[in-house]
Chains A and B, each alone.
Chain A
Amino acid sequence: MKLSLNWIKDFVDLPAELDLKRLAYDLTMSTVEVEGMEELARRYDGIIVGVIGEVLPHPNADKLRICRVDIGGETKDIVCGGSNLEGGMKVVVATPGAFVRWHGEGEPVEIKNAKLRGVESFGMICASVEVGMDGLFPAAEEHEIMDLSSLDVAAGTPLAEALGLDDYILEIDNKSMTNRPDLWGHYGIARELAALYDLPLKPIPAYVPETEVPFDIRILDTERCPRYIGSRIEGLCVKDAPFEMRSRLWKVGLRPINALVDVTNYVMLAVGQPTHVFDADMIKGHIEVRRAKDGETLGLLNDKELKLTPDDLVIADAEEAVALAGVMGGAKDSVLPDTKDVILEVANFDAKGVRRTAIRYDNRTESSARYEKAIDPERCDQALSLAMKIFKELYPNMKVTAFTDCYREHLERKEIDVPLEWLDRRLGMRIPKEIVERKLGTMGFEVTYTDDEMHVVVPTWRSTGDVGIKADIMEEVARMYGYDNFEATTITASFEGAINQLDEDLVRKVKEYLALRCDMQEIFTYPWMSEEFVKATLPSTDGVLALSTPPSPEEKYLRSSMIPNICRAIVKNEHNYDSFGIFEEAKVFLDRDYTSVYPNEELPRQERRLGFAVAGSPEKAEELFRQAKGIVGSMPRYTHQEPFTFERIEKPYWSDDAAWLNICLGGKKIGDLGLISRKAAQGCGIKVLTAALAEIDLDSLVPFRSRTNRYEHIPEFPENTFDISFLVDGSVKWDEMKSAILGKKTEGSLLKDVVFVDEYRGRQIPDGKKSVTVRLVIGSSEKTLTGAEIESVADSVMRKITHVMGAEVRSK
């Protein structure tokens, strides 16, 4: 919202010495965010009024002419293409150094002395659009320049001075006052400034009706329309409003139209209360405020044709709807060029209803925006009074011939008791009574004291939802006293022991393990999944939740598995890297197990999960799988939690038939690990790389309460290694070999461990077989073993394996 400082000064006398930067700061700190403060005249630096003397033809151009222009004390030649140039005309001259917008478009450009088709031109004679004044001085046709001949000013007068633009425009962030219906006009802001600076606020005297003749008004829905004032005014006509009024509207961003319409806008911007005028001749019989009939039609001022619903409130005459209440007037019955008599509407409508209607037809207006904030019905008095006063000034012969104010149930002012001890405690200090009383008083609050309490009666304009409890009063006091004037106080609290959140710490350890030890990058994805990835990687969408209004039709499903979005991230990066690892920790949402953890709601199952991928060349698929398995397998050890086991219980839908495992904890499946199947990869559009994927339920992890691994003595005597290659059946699994080799571990066994070295299939190995190289770790805690002792351990392993597994020893 834009505000004119001069307009505010109509209602409060701001001291001349008041620093405007200070004003903007104070208003921002206490009330609303002032986003900008512009000195209007600065826009017109170097732009002056010139008086055209002779108009000469241009030697080289038909459409251009050379004007001899008196710019105050000297005469300059200015080349101009204006269609309405005449000797004696007062025009706007942008002198070199001034900024104008060429033809009203683009960024402002600096004017320089220039030759136009070979003729020197001192600056430029401007069209209104070029100085941003087309709203105030509309051009009848495109090449018309702005005519100031009606002004009684001398040549050379700065334009800003000639038009009385010595004003400042405040730009207020609308978002910062959505809760304050009282601030949506100059008067409301003036009230805040009066309270801030302890100045008197000028009252708006009430209008005294000058006729006893009633106007027939019927409110059929008093809930949606608590108040309606209708007055018939005769003896008006459509003409331009006075310059000062038009200028004020223009300064705050409204386009002046004609005096009748301008008055309504002017009143709204002054006191924040919308008003409307109907052409009295077009209103048949009475006025009624009622719900629209289903399917009833109404043509609006902006040419929209609406088909209404019974939830819409309309203003109607005896025959049909004539306006959408609180939103916009109808085209047929509003001010027309030959309007002489009007019905002036000053009314109050229910905020929520206006909002619903404005949104329903995507037709939000300055009026609906104000009603939506919940204006108090009492404001109608100010608007009526101001409107009548201006009408009388503009039309001294006008007559109010009928008048009715329908206001049955008056708005109740809120009353609040504020214990003084409570106020002091919450403020952290005592603010003197006089200050509290003065600040609240200026803002319209009535304050009375008992011994230990303050009784506050809230003004109507703050009683529609804004202020209602004692915390609100405390806020009023604090903000007007000035938040800057409160010292920051320290926080004190009792110590009740260290915070120990093992689950929270574990998730962080897991993420740090993946990022810092396992070379993986954390990613964030959206909580929804894209349909093509869902199709490729999940068996179905049964039990998957969806959004009512998804960001796009293909993205309606909510994350039920980490895999689809991880795959999408692989696609995003596979062209930029030969190999990479990514992981994400996020919630998955499942349409089942609805439970009520907190009162008054039942929520679906939501699990905190981890998903990751190690992506690389398809030739290294098996290696990728082992890499992923290593990451999962080592995780418990490095992150201090109960260890996992790998089982084969249920193949993940997205995985390769052979390369997959389930991750288990305490016999329960908590996740999957596998190589992505070719089919799933193709479905996802993974073209270059392949990947091993994993998904783990983080809520199932069990953190150790403290470290649990025990120190082991460092071997006193050297340990020896002994490599053996076995030829075994291709289907033999390492797990089987390992347990066969180690057998039952006994105290004092010289075979300490067996380690996988490599596996080989191919040349020299018969079909259906593979060669597996193992490394035996052999040692004793009592002595250094001799070569013969080592050989004997190795020999017994070889015998055992050839016997048990039908393996052959290839080499040792």
Chain B
Amino acid sequence: MIKEKLEQIRKDAEAALADAGVNVEALRIKYLGKKGELTAVLRGMGNLTPEERPVIGQLANKVRAEIEQMLQKKKEEAEAAAFGVSPDFDYSLPGVAPRSGGLHPITQMCYDLNDAFRSMGFEIFGGPEITSEYYAFDNLNFPPNHPARESMDTYWIEGHDTGSASDKLCLRPHLTGDSVRYMQTHKPPYRFVYPGRVYRNETTDSHHERAFFQYEALVVDKEFTFTAGKVMIKSILSKVFGKDVPVRMRAGFFPFVEPGFEIDMGCQICGGKGCSVCKHVGWIEIMPGGTPHPNVLRAAGLDPDEYTGFYVNVGLDRLVMMRYGIDDVRLFHSTDLKFLKQFC
């Protein structure tokens, strides 16, 4: 009787497992669990004769083992079948790319430099893009008839293009005017950067744009020799190029600095040996810089005998072009996503 029951449980389990899906846990409980059928049968063993007991006991163990084996087999089959993936699954299909927006490559460079300068304790500052002639030129020691003031170089605003330097308004042709604004409204010593867009009325080609992005930094303090400026420059370049870059400062003239420098870096294309990019001299002109002209410090309300400092002015467009090998500056303002998405 009990023997038949055990046999029946085995058969039922076999049938149930054949029909079962992936999850066989319920069946395990049904047949082998504490309240399961097999356990229930074994509880009835007390009614058996001592002779029957080992025989039935043996049989019960065999049935349990068989069911467990069936369960295990089913589990393995289920695991192997996974999520219905075909054995021919093409693992070489392209991955589904994550969504890809991005910052403009110039913004990225600007942020890289912001991070570098922040780490050196510089503040970030921004001024107005429409400026008076006073801040664009007069404060910066540009003589009254400097060619850059003329319309061929500067975008003057209609209805604001005559009168005194305070009355005349233009799109800022450079950032340097903002340095005076900052100094007028803060207390020395100064250590700040002021990145931004500037505009020049030029004929455009692959290396000339009407709108471009500059990055200026200025330190003003009581004790500051122009040779410390080299440290600032090296900081910028090592950030941009990820390694130490040779730098030289040579004589250069800009109205707002004295002494003024043209700052060259070792050509990254040929490593300084000379190539077409660096016109075979091994150096590339990357930024002007120098000690603020006494008249500029005066415009900012400082005594030039007491304070001195160092400017650098980087054309970010040019640095970004070098970073990626971009050959046409006009692409930056093209709004062409085929270009911009390359820098995500």
Contact = CB atoms under 8 A, between A and B. Distances in A.
Contacts of A176: 251-253, 262
A528 B234 CA distance: 36
Contacts of A568: 335
A516 B225 contact: no
B118 interface: yes
A471 B104 contact: no
Interface string A27-41: 011111101100000
B134 A427 contact: no
A600 interface: yes
Contacts of A706: none
Contacts of A474: 259
A548 B151 CA distance: 9
B335 A490 contact: no
Contact of B251 (A29, A504, A580): A29
Nearest to A526: B211
Contacts of B294: 469, 471
A35 B285 CA distance: 12
A556 B130 contact: no
A130 B58 CA distance: 114
Nearest to A178: B253
B156 interface: yes
Interface stretch (A97-105, A220-228, A507-515): A507-515
Contact of B231 (A32, A177, A488): A488
B132 A30 contact: no
Contacts of B293: 471
A486 interface: yes
Nearest to B255: A179
Contact of B337 (A427, A521, A606): A521
A177 B304 CA distance: 26
Q: How extensive is the interface on chain B, given as a class?
A: 35 or more
Interface in A407-430: 422, 425-428
Nearest to B111: A508
Contacts of A491: 120, 219, 224, 228, 231-232
Interface stretch (B38-46, B88-96, B121-129): B121-129
A599 interface: yes
A630 interface: no
Contacts of A501: 123-124
A545 B158 contact: yes
A524 B103 contact: no
A603 B123 contact: no
A285 B103 CA distance: 73
A577 interface: yes
B134 A601 contact: yes
A30 B250 contact: yes
Contacts of A586: 197
B298 to A, nearest CB: 11
Contacts of B157: 545-548, 558
B248 A29 contact: yes
Interface in A599-619: 599-604, 606
A491 B222 CA distance: 12
A427 to B, nearest CB: 7
A582 B249 contact: no
Contacts of A603: 128, 130-132, 169
B14 interface: no
A461 interface: no
Interface stretch (A475-483, A653-661, A681-689): A475-483
Interface string B206-242: 0000110100000101011111101110100000000
A527 interface: yes
Given A30-B251, A527-B171, A606-B130, A522 B337 contact: no
B143 interface: yes
A604 B107 contact: no
A426 B210 CA distance: 37
Interface stretch (B1-9, B78-86, B184-192): B184-192
A521 B145 CA distance: 43
B305 interface: yes
B53 interface: no
Given A471-B258, A483-B249, A504-B124, A524 B333 contact: yes
B205 interface: no
A499 interface: yes
B176 interface: no
Nearest to A356: B145
Nearest to A483: B249
A603 B106 CA distance: 27
A558, A569, A598: which has the most chain B beta carbons within 10 Å?
A598
B132 A601 contact: yes
A589 B227 contact: no
A523 B103 CA distance: 8
Contact of B106 (A177, A518, A524, A558): A524
B101 A515 contact: yes
B102 A522 contact: yes
B279 interface: yes
Given A493-B191, A598-B185, A487 B227 contact: yes
B291 interface: yes
A490 B234 CA distance: 11
A589 B131 CA distance: 11
Contacts of B253: 176-180
A549 B103 contact: no
A110 interface: no
B201 interface: yes
Contact of B118 (A479, A499, A546, A550): A499
Given A483-B251, A501-B123, A546 B185 contact: no
A465 interface: yes
B340 interface: yes
A475 B258 contact: yes
B35 interface: no
11 contacts: A488-B234, A511-B103, A522-B102, A522-B103, A523-B104, A524-B104, A526-B333, A545-B157, A576-B338, A601-B135, A603-B132
The 3 closest A-B pairs by CB, nearest first: A428-B225, A475-B259, A601-B132
Interface of B: 99-104, 106-107, 111, 114, 118, 120-124, 126, 128-132, 134-135, 143, 145, 147, 150-151, 155-159, 161, 165-166, 169, 171, 180-181, 184-185, 189, 191, 197, 199, 201, 210-211, 213, 219, 221, 223-228, 230-232, 234, 248-253, 258-262, 279, 285, 291, 293-294, 304-305, 308, 332-338, 340-341, 344
Given A515-B101, A521-B102, A569-B335, 18 more contacts: A32-B251, A471-B304, A475-B259, A488-B231, A491-B232, A493-B221, A515-B102, A518-B101, A519-B99, A520-B101, A522-B103, A523-B104, A527-B129, A545-B157, A548-B157, A572-B334, A572-B335, A597-B181
